Structure 1
């Protein structure tokens, strides 16, 4: 089946998470992605704990639908091979520290000389320019400096990292967005370009109204746990057997809510008859909500409130998540067969395209799994050259 990016070839000189995630998103939509790894060692995430039958689960999660080739870009011969690959490719994705690809003679200025249409997407902690560009970056640093950690956590607690590496994933997402924008421009003009995606920029880009609130109102967004300014109740509540979230975002929904919990008199209470009044009296609002929730199971709360048109949902563990009928219907935890790790489930593909949907066609590859296909097939290297490159550790 043809996919949206069928016929597009991507060279991925990436490792860890943000760059490989960008590659995977492109691969899911049909691009041929060659994930380039160091001979004999491979991507570090192959070896990060936890391991499933010796294979790093982080690598498994972010490298499906790709082909793995080994190549030592630190060597002059490896750099020439990389240029051979660039001549027959559309996109390069890399997440080395800025300047590394230039040092290896395979930076954008080098590659556009041999393929003017090449798109090079660079993912880094702080970007290719600016006073911090040479710093190494990690997800937690991007979350911290990007303002996300400062407003995440309980009001009386310390700044908290989100439960996953959201800075890395946002970096990968914005890298993909930039890459596809550049690809569209290339298809109209024939011109490639350099896409500069930074983890720090990506976190700042999703801060919602934090910056205008500060500049326009002098308001600093503080930690509030799961509450948000402007709406109440909007929080997590403990039922008999687990947690639920409830969000009452309008007067109409507030009326439904107080009716269904058997407190219709609250509609006429001036402490609760407008969004601003409910926020001002948030402690009392949450006390009323918690008292009702605590008498019921999660399933009862969710069923009663959804039937009444009140926005709510259960707080799922991963075990509950993958068994949810809606998640299954959307194929968001599909099963794959991995040659080493066995039967596994991964996060599914989103968004859903009506004509050319993305699919999971192959598990994460073994190290160098596609060396012969690419070097002898695509590049037409002879058996002798291929074996020589192998023996000398170039591939």
Structure 2
């Protein structure tokens, strides 16, 4: 038996055309298909003073506090550049739907799920919120630095490459000093984490001088072998070719009827008993509209054609 679900991720105008609203509309859907789970994902949720405000990942990042933390202390706030809130909200919604399916399996009851991207993204700023509620301190932008750990940064290496490294405890600090072999790092000003944090500018200058003469790949290997967290900054094309991801078959080739055949990232988890694979390309616009509305929601062919005529559904962009 197929699970009946309806998902909405539209601005209010589109939602209202199809009546996907929490204030009474879910009861109509539940009467049509008992046990249905309606999942509504919008910028700010279906209630509250922001419910009618449109938003995208590029506005959700500043609204959730994330942009205020990205960038250098003496620079402007930044967005991630990757529309980070979009996949974050999608992952949370998937989890919420699974929880609702579990509830339905035990009770027979469906329910309405209301998820706002602002709230979903705000959970990834939780440590900054905790810092304020516990200590009354508003966290500033810190670039690549860490609130408590030093060194912690990304340093320019030879040939325009970049190397990230961190020493989170005393054992890692000792190992880092062994690789860098910089006598000045034995000074009492760097003896403890608190001292290193207090003299972070001087510490970073020493590491930056060392890094500029290093091949980032070799330095990464030396530091990792010594037990120091380190990584060369990789470009997207390098990530797709990475031996680790290839060994785990994370990069897959998918053929799309319009876009053609391209490599893309696959499923980031592995099950011991069932495969986790990309089995088909992303759907065409409206490819499954009639199937979902008809097979799952009971919309007749005539009713579906009426929805198409009113630009509520179909496989063409709205006019």
Choose the corresponding residue for 2:179, options 260, 280, 290: 260
The within-5 A match list for 1:1-395 is 8-9=2-3, 89=4, 91-97=5-11, 101=15, 104-106=18-20, 107-241=25-159, 242-263=161-182, 266-267=185-186, 269-369=187-287, 395=314
Structure 2 unaligned blocks of 5 or more = 315-319
Taking the aligned partners of 1:94 and 1:255, their CA distance within structure 2 comes to 53
**Structure 1 residues 377, 162: closer, same or farther in 2, change over 3 A?**
closer
Task: State TM-score, norm by structure 1.
Answer: 0.71
2:32–2:297 Cα contact (<8 Å) kept:
no
**Structure 1 residues 279, 387: closer, same or farther in 2, change over 3 A?**
closer
Q: What is the SS of the residue equivalent to 1:346?
A: strand
Q: What is the SS of the residue equivalent to 1:366?
A: coil
**Structure 1 residues 287, 139: closer, same or farther in 2, change over 3 A?**
same
Q: What is the SS of the residue equivalent to 2:125?
A: coil
**Structure 1 residues 196, 388: closer, same or farther in 2, change over 3 A?**
closer
Deviation at 1:342, TM superposition (A): 2.1
1:360-389 Cα deviation digits (max 9, x unpaired): 11112334545787789889999x969977
Moved over 4 A (4+): 368-382, 384-395
Deviation at 1:104, TM superposition (A): 3.0
1:302–1:312 Cα contact (<8 Å) kept:
yes
1:222-275 Cα deviation digits (max 9, x unpaired): 1111111111111111111301110111111000000111136734x2211211
1:93–1:122 Cα contact (<8 Å) kept:
yes
Deviation at 1:184, TM superposition (A): 1.1
Structure 1 unaligned blocks of 5 or more = 1-6, 10-88
Number of residue pairs matched? 307
Taking the aligned partners of 1:391 and 1:236, their CA distance within structure 2 comes to 53
1:336–1:345 Cα contact (<8 Å) kept:
yes
**Structure 1 residues 319, 105: closer, same or farther in 2, change over 3 A?**
closer
Deviation at 1:96, TM superposition (A): 2.2
Taking the aligned partners of 2:38 and 2:287, their CA distance within structure 1 comes to 24
1:98–1:128 Cα contact (<8 Å) kept:
no
Deviation at 1:124, TM superposition (A): 0.7
Q: What is the SS of the residue equivalent to 1:205?
A: helix
1:333–1:347 Cα contact (<8 Å) kept:
yes
**Structure 1 residues 192, 259: closer, same or farther in 2, change over 3 A?**
same
**Structure 1 residues 379, 319: closer, same or farther in 2, change over 3 A?**
same
**Structure 1 residues 142, 373: closer, same or farther in 2, change over 3 A?**
closer
**Structure 1 residues 282, 182: closer, same or farther in 2, change over 3 A?**
same
After superposition, the CA RMSD in angstroms is 2.8
Q: What is the SS of the residue equivalent to 2:156?
A: strand
Taking the aligned partners of 2:18 and 2:306, their CA distance within structure 1 comes to 18
1:8-38 Cα deviation digits (max 9, x unpaired): 54xxxxxxxxxxxxxxxxxxxxxxxxxxxxx
Q: What is the SS of the residue equivalent to 1:120?
A: strand
